[in-house]
Structure 1
Amino acid sequence: MDFERRTEEPGGIINPKDSIDTRLIYAFASALNFTFEIREEPERTWGLEINGSFTGMIGQLQREETDFCTIAGPSPERLKVVEYLRGYPSDLMTVTSLKPSLLPQHLSLIRPFEGELWLALMVSVVAWGGVMWILQRTWRWFAGGRRVDFSTTLLYGWGALLEQPPPVLSVSNSGRLLVGWWLVFCLVITTGFRSSLVAHMTVQGKTLPIETFEDMVKQDNWKWCTEPWLLKGMLFDYFSKHTDPVVQKLYKHMEMLVADEALERVLEGGFTLVDFENYVNIIVASRYTDARGYNPFYVSKKGVSVMAAFGWGMRRGAPFYPRFKQLKSRLEDTGIISYWIEDVIARRVRENRAAAAMDVRSAKTDTTQDDNKVPLGLHHMQGAFYLLFLGYVVALLILFGETISHNSDPRISTTFLTTNKT
């Protein structure tokens, strides 16, 4: 509920802007024929309980200094000192971060498989090479024949996986059977990789969005904040007294920033704003959304309900409470409150955009996130070239190792000298 001050003195009379609460007040006043004045709470707080007494708006109701307050949430402590009139469903607490970004293109070659699958595939190659080597040594021990090294069986399994198996097959039936099943396995793996690679090249993947508090606290070097006024009421009790380790960690490292400053930090990356969903959507739609409807922020779809509902608090014994409750039920049954919520949000966005004349910050769009199809270029396939260069380096290192091992072997040197003498 936004408003304009008539005077700069705290606690003075204010002029409320269009909102659900304002429409309800004027509807009640028209139906019940009463007048009213709305004053700003001097400390601009809902109120916290201290030794049975409340501060803020709830404290004024408890001391009967005012008749009722707008947009407040119910709690067991508050319901002991005030009457409560349920107004409309509470706004969900969501996390606002940057929209998912495109995944690195140099990793497109390995992205078709998850990390666990790549690890299982490497273990399978080594395991198959070991089993094949044991079978060949056992066959040679019983029947004789040529010697097979472990490196040979390992490279055979790797070559078959790359659809380039060596031409020499096993001479034993057990080895041939093992090779046959390995070729079937390689056929399934390569077919799955090829089809997944085509899909990833056709539509480039994006990072996963931050949907929940758990997703947020698990991020490395991530920070978050909320607005200071949010922790002046029930939300303070929710975060400070919650037993969930995730919520405790969130509250422990929570920073305090107003919405505009927080969204600027979000644009820099590695930062999240924890705030009410409709409230944030209005700010984003008003100041950061361009004419095509694009904005750089992602408001999570899995919000958390931190209170049962929004409504009005009333002093104990207020004679108008039953009539207010009756009128509220009639408005809710007709569906007018749901209509008002959508209408107020849309009207507020239009007013903000007209007043700001589309702030230049709405031009901060990421033109790289274009879903138009483009031909594959070098930047798309750079991962394959990185892998090729890595293979060159590994092969060169192995060549140096083989050369050094060959020169340091005394048997090879003796044979070489004997041949020269002969």
Structure 2
Amino acid sequence: MPETRVVVVGGTAGVKDVLLHHSLRNTVHGLYLALHDLTLHTPPRTGNSRLKKILPKEAASVSERVWVYRRCLYCNNGKADVQLIHKWNLTSSPQHVDDLFFGGQFRNFNGHKIRFSALRFLPYNDYTPDSKEPGSTATFRDCLDARLLSVLALKLNFSLEVREQPQRTWGTNKDGKTTGMLRQLQREEIDIGGAMGSQTYRMEVALFLRAYKADVLSIVSLKPTLLPQHLSVIRPFSGELWLLLSVSVVLWGVTLWLQQRVWRWFAGGQGVKLTTALLHSLGTLLERPPSNPSDNDSGRLLIGWWLVFCLVITTGFRSSLIAHLTVQGKSPPPETFEDLVARSNWKWGIEHWMMRGMPRQYFTQHTHPVVRKINKEMQVLTAAEGLDKVKKGSYSLFSPSYHITIVINSNYTDNFGQTPFYISKDGIVGLAAIGWSLRKGVPYFQRLQQLISQLEDAGIIPHWTGDIIAGRVKENRAAATLQQQAALAITVHEDDTKLVLGLHHLQGAFYLLFLGCTIAYLTLLVENFAHSRSWSL
């Protein structure tokens, strides 16, 4: 608890030994009241225990000087030291004590060295090791950590020692035994650990400082494919609407036929055949109705309402058909876990490095049946292997949105910005926040939190994120030729010119024409066969 006020009273000999003791290494406010030859009187044990008053004769023989020393964290070239701030006399007037606990120690760190442990996690952290030895010093590449630390170091005047995490892992905490970066924080070998997600077992041994917007887990699949043109004629209506419309045609025809039979039974006259009523129902819907089969008011009223219904249906179909013929539809890509589970013969995988951190806990401990099914059938593989399977179809890859955007834009995108892959829009939120982990007791936690919150509120960190992703993609694409990078399976070129309808757009209409002619021909054969049988009998 670095903000705890610590006040020590003693002689003048042990000032530095006390205020610079290792147990006070994180203490922000530490005072030492050094008494110069002041006798401490212990009152006798009596019934009413009260402090013994010093008689004037005794007080006159006692020096009443008190020197006040304060512990400062970084005043000695970034190291702790002791400052004399007051020389008091107990018999003088009341002393000014407003500046005893100085609140401005974190305005200038005077070159204090902060030890930072780096672990590669784009776009948050990236570096180049200075040697091949585990735990060697490292040099930041352009990343969020590098920009944040450079701004903070300039503002607070501290130096930085960046080292690669030796095991290249964030670490675990089981039964109080920590590993990886968590172990370094617990043993105070480092001051700040690189970007990681906030988890309960991590916050048991370290402080968590939210530094960035949490990345989401995206679903990478093939881009939506163009729907077949020969189905453009039936695509304006959904399957349920086509079924309901067909049932309506039959029911209305049967209703008209029954109504006319009832009218004939009561009033006499010529009735309507069932085939005639059905053909009138269908012909009206096709805007080619036959002659009016009813000569009574009730039948005309029924036909009138059917005409209004057909007007609404045909108007909606015609406008939707024009849109579908002009802009070819595409198949919907999977956006959620439910979409993946609902597809038949669909498989999915996740990058192997993600199963060492927060996503592993998310999938293994989630109670939702869909997430459990996803975890049960999920494959663990590299990004290149996963994207190769995605290109073959019926496969999706789980990966952080920022990371996979850099990979796809760098290696699987051509000069026109076209790529065969589709990244889900919303993604799955698996992390509450991403930020730094600090060793417990670090005194400048609140100061860093304040400055980072100001950068976040000003929109600086989101701007940096987009800028780093774009810069890394440009750097990766410049490192190799586009012919070697762009391994595209599908490339779609679109222009803004007016669309001219061709045979491939209207092929569905010709299919319907051929189908109708075939059905009519077969009907003709059945009619001729039935007529010849009745004539022979």
TM over 0.5: yes
Aligned mates of 1:171, 1:322 — CA distance in 2: 90
Contact 2:227–2:331 (8 Å) recurs in 1: yes
Aligned mates of 1:193, 1:153 — CA distance in 2: 23
Aligned mates of 1:350, 1:368 — CA distance in 2: 22
Structure 2 residue runs without a partner (length 5+): 1-124
Bigger shift: residues 326-335 or 346-355: 326-335
Query: Does the alignment pair 1:187 with 2:311?
Result: yes
Specify the SS of the correspondent of 2:200: coil
Residue 141 of structure 2: aligned partner = 17
Q: Which amino acid aligns with 1:343?
A: D
Structure 1 residue runs without a partner (length 5+): 415-422
Offset from partner CA, 1:157-214 (integer Å, 9 cap, x none): 1111112222252133222221222122222222221222122222222222433333
Aligned mates of 1:331, 1:177 — CA distance in 2: 72
Query: Does the alignment pair 1:289 with 2:413?
Result: yes
Q: Which amino acid aligns with 2:308?
A: V
Aligned mates of 2:358, 2:161 — CA distance in 1: 27
Structure with greater helix share of residues:
1
Bigger shift: residues 146-155 or 156-165: 146-155
Query: Does the alignment pair 1:382 with 2:504?
Result: no
Residue 419 of structure 1: aligned partner = none
Aligned mates of 2:456, 2:288 — CA distance in 1: 71
Task: Summarize the Cα distance change of 1:153–1:84 in structure 2 as closer, same or farther, 3 Å threshold.
Answer: same
Offset from partner CA, 1:126-176 (integer Å, 9 cap, x none): 110111111121122223333533222111111111122222521332222
Aligned mates of 1:72, 1:231 — CA distance in 2: 13
Residue 351 of structure 1: aligned partner = 475
Task: Summarize the Cα distance change of 1:388–1:32 in structure 2 as closer, same or farther, 3 Å threshold.
Answer: same
Contact 1:3–1:14 (8 Å) recurs in 2: yes
Task: Summarize the Cα distance change of 1:330–1:367 in structure 2 as closer, same or farther, 3 Å threshold.
Answer: closer
Bigger shift: residues 277-286 or 353-362: 353-362
Contact 2:277–2:293 (8 Å) recurs in 1: no
Task: Summarize the Cα distance change of 1:122–1:335 in structure 2 as closer, same or farther, 3 Å threshold.
Answer: closer
How many equivalent residue pairs? 411
Residue 62 of structure 1: aligned partner = 186
Choose the corresponding residue for 2:161, options 26, 36, 51. Answer: 36
Residue 417 of structure 1: aligned partner = none
Bigger shift: residues 133-142 or 317-326: 317-326
Aligned mates of 1:181, 1:319 — CA distance in 2: 81
Post-superposition offset of 1:370: 5.0
Bigger shift: residues 75-84 or 22-31: 22-31
Residue 95 of structure 1: aligned partner = 219
Query: Does the alignment pair 1:122 with 2:246?
Result: yes
Task: Summarize the Cα distance change of 1:176–1:260 in structure 2 as closer, same or farther, 3 Å threshold.
Answer: same
TM-score normalised by structure 1 residue count: 0.87
Query: Does the alignment pair 1:75 with 2:199?
Result: yes
Residue 237 of structure 2: aligned partner = 113
Bigger shift: residues 151-160 or 26-35: 26-35
Residue 373 of structure 2: aligned partner = 249
Aligned mates of 2:320, 2:458 — CA distance in 1: 52
Aligned mates of 1:143, 1:330 — CA distance in 2: 88
Percent identity among equivalent residues? Answer: 50
Aligned mates of 2:250, 2:301 — CA distance in 1: 18
Post-superposition offset of 1:340: 2.8
Query: Does the alignment pair 1:145 with 2:274?
Result: no
Choose the corresponding residue for 2:486, options 348, 362, 375. Answer: 362
Contact 1:202–1:373 (8 Å) recurs in 2: no
Contact 1:132–1:153 (8 Å) recurs in 2: yes
Offset from partner CA, 1:22-44 (integer Å, 9 cap, x none): 233444455443342412341x3
Residue 166 of structure 1: aligned partner = 290
TM-score normalised by structure 2 residue count: 0.70
Residue 235 of structure 1: aligned partner = 359
Task: Summarize the Cα distance change of 1:302–1:161 in structure 2 as closer, same or farther, 3 Å threshold.
Answer: same
Residue 217 of structure 1: aligned partner = 341
Rg larger in structure: 2
Bigger shift: residues 319-328 or 279-288: 319-328
Residue 2 of structure 1: aligned partner = 126
Contact 1:67–1:318 (8 Å) recurs in 2: yes
Structure with greater strand share of residues:
2
Offset from partner CA, 1:323-362 (integer Å, 9 cap, x none): 5445534544665433432332222122111112335343
Task: Summarize the Cα distance change of 1:329–1:121 in structure 2 as closer, same or farther, 3 Å threshold.
Answer: closer
Post-superposition offset of 1:108: 0.7
Aligned mates of 1:38, 1:148 — CA distance in 2: 92
Aligned mates of 2:507, 2:463 — CA distance in 1: 53
Task: Summarize the Cα distance change of 1:156–1:87 in structure 2 as closer, same or farther, 3 Å threshold.
Answer: same
Task: Summarize the Cα distance change of 1:136–1:330 in structure 2 as closer, same or farther, 3 Å threshold.
Answer: closer
Q: Which amino acid aligns with 1:162?
A: L
Task: Summarize the Cα distance change of 1:62–1:393 in structure 2 as closer, same or farther, 3 Å threshold.
Answer: farther
Contact 2:229–2:506 (8 Å) recurs in 1: yes
Specify the SS of the correspondent of 1:337: helix
Residue 98 of structure 2: aligned partner = none
Task: Summarize the Cα distance change of 1:138–1:192 in structure 2 as closer, same or farther, 3 Å threshold.
Answer: same
